[in-house]
């Protein structure tokens, strides 16, 4: 690879309120009648630089070489779209890497301005980009055309410099994960267009009915709290302090008065109905005539490395599990004729990764041999006997309790948090927490080790009179918490640690403690295992459409669907070679419409 030239490439395109990738999705944007890719800037590590119209660029230079883009989901997708429309010639590119994904992996802000400032000490001026909105190249003044050209070149130079400074910190397998994730969404997700149309009509009817019951509609803002309170007092009702869906008292108040006064229920539901309609409109806008939705899932979107939604009104990582107001977003995703969806997920992966991190080999061995992981824990906890038969069939209440204990107590939750999450009394919750901590001694030892690491780091920092970066180890990487600070009197008067991490391209401070680190490690290891599986499925030739947490959604030929399901389950049940001693399990279905 030493003889490969590395080129940083960046397109500049016309955008406006109507012609925007935010509302139309990538292909909807590229196919808009106002769209214009009027500039490409290319900077090579051999000193080559070009900025100008794409038709003037020698695309053959990229052949068999490496291309970088800061947001390759945009630039690479546009490049492929342009080839399909004969805007520029095709060439075989050796590899296309995303420096925004590189930045995220390295704990830098995802945006170019932020990552360049942190990694290179350069703070680029992005005001030119803002001033380009609504301006076509041919209508720009010569002075502004020159400014835009220089702005584009600076972006490509920074992209290349970021790669040169941090590229070696981005392992090859992570680059593959980035590629597989990016190319999956470029395939498009098949949408049931008829159902999408009907769902929009049904939701609009719900919205119309809600608005018809709001007395002040058209005179004051729909969600005006002042108008709501005035209407309450007009009816002789004392308005509640809050209307939040998460506020139990508010929901009880709405339930009590909403039956008699329909406008109360209408106001409480309006925001959710309107939000759902916007999601449906986002799907519609980004669904092309081929019946496929083109969206995004963000690589390394969370601090732990997990994927996250790609922004916008339709988040593939957070789809509702049931129908709301006449629309089921999951069932909009439907296999086209002659195809089926194969949907498979890893079973209880974070429970397994926690046991592996705690080196609880005995419990992992029990889990590996059991058909029901929660029955295995129930037997270990002394809450069930194998001779009684399957726990799932004979005592589902006990199984639910064991499941809550296993999922809720492993990350050091206390009785109050357990009670609030699972609805058990505080007395029963305390007994559950005590049971877990008494039986799962290896996990408790892990907590102690992580706390000792924090304490030792703090002592080193105080001894050297400076703050020290804190990390937590995984088989393939480290979770970096930045420069931690030890506060002798925290929010509750007790000593605590404060970490600085990047979230949404900004530094944020979080309270760091062994329970959070345990959760982060289990989640991050689960992500690394799942990401390894994504790469293996891609190598096996499966068409990944998208993925949700620990679940894959594949498009296969209908006639081969059963065999594909069996093969995918087998692949996902095999641990990666770098962690052969973790027992994995997967299960799935063949579907015509996506559901869970």
SS3 466: coil
pLDDT at 483: 84
- pLDDT higher than threshold 70 for residue 464: no
107 three-class SS? coil
Residue 35 — φ and ψ, nearest 5°? -65, 145
pTM here is: 0.93
Task: Give the contacts of 77 (CB within 8 A, at least 6 positions apart).
Answer: 26, 27, 30, 186, 294
pLDDT of residue 509: 87
What confidence tens digit (pLDDT) does each residue in 289-337 have? 999 999 889 999 999 999 998 766 678 888 888 999 999 999 999 999 9
Q: What is the pLDDT of residue 1?
A: 59
Lowest mean pLDDT among 181-185, 350-354, 356-360: 181-185
Is the pLDDT at 22 greater than 70? The verdict is yes
Instruction: Return all residues near 342 (Cβ < 8 A) that are at least 6 apart.
Output: 542, 552, 553, 554, 555, 556, 561, 564, 565, 568, 588, 589, 590, 591
Residues near 54 by Cβ (< 8 Å), separated by ≥ 6?
11, 37, 39, 40, 82, 87, 88
How far is the CA of 201 from the CAs of 74, 206, 279, 336, 387, in angstroms? 32, 9, 13, 23, 55
Least confident of 50-59, 117-126, 423-432, 479-488: 479-488
pLDDT band at 348 (very low <50, low <70, confident <90, very high): very high
Average pLDDT over residues 353-380: 96
Residue 491 has pLDDT above 60, yes or no: yes
pLDDT category, 40, cuts 50, 70, 90?
very high
Instruction: Find the range with the poorest average confidence among 180-184, 246-250, 458-462.
Output: 458-462
Q: Return mean pLDDT, the chain.
A: 93
Q: Which residue did the predictor score with more confidence, 460 or 77?
A: 77
Query: Of 249-258, 493-502, 506-515, which gets the smallest average pLDDT?
Result: 493-502
At residue 495 the predicted structure's pLDDT band, cuts being 50, 70 and 90, is: low
- In this predicted model, what pLDDT tens digit does every residue of 539-554 receive, in sequence order? 999 999 999 999 999 9
Percent of the chain whose predicted confidence (pLDDT) is above 90: 83
Angle between helices 361-369 and 373-380 (to 10 degrees): 130
Nearest of 378, 368, 373 to residue 582 by alpha carbon: 368
pLDDT tens digits for 201-210?
Answer: 999 999 999 9
The lowest-confidence range among 88-92, 281-285, 432-436 is 281-285
What pLDDT, on the 0 to 100 scale, is given for residue 493? 59
Please tell me the distance from the alpha carbon of residue 507 to that of residue 516, in angstroms, as a whole number.
18
Alpha helices (H) along 168-304: 172-186, 193-212, 225-234, 248-258, 262-286
Average pLDDT over residues 555-562: 97
- Residue from 301, 83, 40, 339 nearest 188 by CA: 339
What is the model's pLDDT at position 399? 96
User: For the purposes of burial, counting CB atoms within 10 Å of the CB of 536, is it exposed (0-12), middle (13-18) or buried (19 or more)?
Assistant: middle
Average of per-residue pLDDT across 520-525: 98
Which of the residue ranges 78-92, 444-458, 460-474 has the most confident prediction, judged by mean pLDDT? 78-92
Provide the greatest CA pair distance for the chain: 84
Indicate left, alpha or beta for 223 from its phi (over 0: left) and psi (-120 to 50: alpha). alpha
- Spatial distance between the Cα atoms of 106 and 478, rounded to a whole number of angstroms: 10
The tokens describing 379, both together, are 């037997």
Residue carrying structure tokens 């970021």: 162
């Amino acid at each position: 690879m030493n003889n490969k030239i590395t080129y940083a490439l960046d397109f500049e395109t016309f955008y406006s309120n109507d012609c925007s990738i935010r509302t139309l999705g990538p292909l909807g944007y590229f196919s808009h009648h106002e769209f214009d890719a009027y500039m490409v800037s290319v900077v090579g590590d051999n000193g080559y630089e070009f900025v100008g119209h794409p038709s003037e660029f020698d695309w053959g230079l990229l052949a068999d070489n490496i291309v970088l883009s800061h947001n390759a989901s945009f630039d690479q997708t546009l490049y492929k779209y342009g080839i399909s429309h004969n805007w520029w010639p095709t060439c075989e590119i050796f590899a296309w890497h995303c420096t925004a994904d590189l930045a995220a992996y390295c704990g830098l802000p995802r945006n170019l301005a932020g990552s360049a400032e942190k990694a290179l000490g350069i703070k680029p001026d992005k005001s030119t980009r803002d001033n380009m909105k609504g301006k076509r190249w041919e209508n720009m003044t010569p002075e502004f055309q020159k400014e835009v050209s220089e702005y584009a070149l600076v972006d490509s130079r920074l992209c290349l410099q970021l790669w040169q400074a941090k590229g070696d910190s981005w392992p090859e397998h992570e680059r593959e994960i980035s590629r597989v994730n990016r190319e999956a969404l470029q395939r498009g997700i098949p949408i049931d267009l008829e159902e999408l149309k009907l769902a929009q009509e049904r939701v609009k009817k719900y919205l119309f009915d809600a608005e018809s019951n709001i007395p002040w509609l058209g005179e004051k803002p729909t969600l005006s709290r002042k108008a709501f309170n005035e209407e309450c007092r007009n009816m002789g009702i004392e308005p509640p302090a809050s209307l939040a869906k998460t506020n139990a008292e508010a929901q009880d108040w709405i339930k009590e008065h909403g039956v008699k006064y329909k406008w109360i229920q209408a106001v409480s539901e309006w925001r959710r109905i309107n939000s759902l309609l916007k999601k449906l409109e986002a799907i519609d806008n980004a669904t092309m005539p081929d019946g496929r939705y083109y969206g995004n899932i963000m690589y390394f979107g969370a601090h732990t490395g997990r994927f996250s939604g790609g922004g916008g009104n339709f988040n593939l990582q957070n789809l509702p599990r049931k129908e709301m107001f006449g629309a089921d977003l999951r069932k909009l995703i439907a296999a086209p004729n002659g195809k089926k969806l194969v949907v498979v997920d890893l079973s209880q992966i974070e429970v397994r990764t926690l046991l592996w991190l705690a080196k609880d080999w005995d419990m992992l061995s029990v889990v590996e041999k059991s058909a029901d992981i929660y029955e295995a824990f129930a037997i270990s906890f002394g809450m069930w006997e194998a001779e009684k038969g399957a726990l799932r069939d004979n005592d589902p209440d006990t199984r639910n309790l064991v499941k809550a204990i296993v999922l809720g107590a492993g990350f050091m939750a206390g009785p109050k948090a357990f009670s609030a999450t699972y609805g058990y009394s505080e007395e029963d919750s305390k007994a559950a927490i005590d049971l877990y901590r008494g039986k799962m001694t290896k996990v408790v030892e892990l907590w102690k080790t992580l706390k000792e690491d924090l304490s030792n780091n703090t002592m080193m920092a105080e001894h050297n009179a400076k703050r020290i970066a804190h990390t937590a180890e995984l088989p393939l990487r480290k979770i970096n918490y930045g420069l931690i600070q030890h506060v002798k009197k925290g929010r509750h008067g007790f000593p605590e640690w404060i970490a600085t991490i990047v979230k949404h391209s900004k530094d944020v401070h979080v309270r760091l403690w062994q329970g959070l680190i345990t959760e982060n490690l289990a989640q991050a290891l689960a992500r690394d295992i799942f990401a390894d599986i994504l790469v293996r499925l891609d190598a096996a030739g499966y068409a990944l459409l998208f993925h949700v947490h620990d679940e894959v959604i594949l498009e296969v030929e209908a006639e081969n669907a059963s065999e594909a399901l069996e093969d995918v389950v087998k692949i996902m049940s095999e641990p990666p070679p770098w962690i052969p001693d973790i027992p994995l399990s997967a299960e799935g279905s063949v579907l015509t419409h996506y559901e869970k």
